[in-house]
């Protein structure tokens, strides 16, 4: 079972690392980390990750994972990446994204008429690609699964693990990584954080997320 992660400069590290921690442990998993060119990738938090394969070396995947970034929509300037996503998508059992990775799926032409989610601050931008924005943590639409902001990628990967290898395997992996969230604050979503915090952060993010 080939599991392929798209890597690119500026990507959000946890968008890939969270799902990788789970999916790489699935029975029979062969993980490939692919970028335009093999080599070092500088993430948005200055963590350096390494792509083992060039996109040209990867022609198919059983599971494709597209992480997001603050500048996710900048990938529209790289048609070779979008064409590669579309090509590999034709071979997948599951095509997935985390956070603003769904905007990349949209730019690749995969979300027309498809229900999808993204980071709450960019959710409505999915409409520009013909997608149907859904404010949920995980959205499954056919073989496309999109996850909301950053940490939702872990939930998505556990859901996918259950689909691929069964619930018992997924539960075992959850226990193995001791994924039992108990955050010190109940402010992890706009509904819980309150309008003052949400509005302040949204204004800040307007200067962070790349505009169309």
Task: List, by residue number, the catalytic residues.
Answer: 99
What is the rounded CA–CA span in Å between residue 103 and residue 109? 10
Find, among 90, 35, 78, the residue nearest to 57 by Cα: 35
Phi, psi (deg, nearest 5) at residue 86? -60, -40
In whole angstroms, give the CA distance from residue 1 to residue 212: 36
70 and 209 in contact (C-beta within 8 Å)?
yes
Rounded Cα–Cα distance for residues 193 and 11 (Å): 25
- Say how many CA atoms lie within 13 Å of 36 toward its Cβ: 11
- Token pair of 172 as six digits: 């075992």
3-state SS class at 133 = strand
**Burial category of 50 from C-beta neighbours within 10 Å (exposed 0-12, middle 13-18, buried 19 and up):** exposed
Distance of CA 196 to the CA centre of its chain: 28
Cβ contact 4:34 at 8 Å: yes
């Amino acid at each position: 079972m080939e599991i392929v992660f798209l890597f690119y400069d500026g990507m959000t590290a946890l968008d890939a690392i969270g799902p990788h921690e789970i999916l790489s442990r699935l029975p029979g998993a062969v993980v490939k980390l692919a970028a335009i060119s093999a080599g070092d990738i500088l993430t948005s938090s200055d963590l350096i990750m390494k792509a083992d394969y060039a996109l040209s070396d990867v022609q198919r995947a059983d599971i494709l994972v597209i992480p997001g970034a603050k500048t996710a929509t900048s990938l529209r300037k790289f048609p070779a990446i979008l064409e590669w996503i579309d090509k590999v998508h034709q071979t997948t059992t599951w095509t997935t994204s985390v956070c603003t990775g769904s905007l990349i799926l949209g730019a690749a032409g995969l979300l027309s008429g498809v229900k999808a989610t993204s980071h709450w601050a960019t959710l409505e931008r999915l409409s520009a690609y013909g997608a149907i924005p859904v404010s949920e943590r995980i959205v499954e639409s056919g073989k496309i699964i999109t996850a909301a902001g950053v940490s939702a990628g872990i939930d998505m990967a556990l859901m996918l693990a259950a689909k691929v290898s069964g619930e018992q395997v997924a539960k075992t992996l959850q226990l193995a990584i001791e994924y039992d969230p108990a955050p010190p604050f109940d402010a992890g979503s706009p509904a819980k954080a309150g309008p003052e915090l949400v509005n302040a952060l949204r204004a800040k993010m307007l200067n962070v997320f790349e505009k169309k």
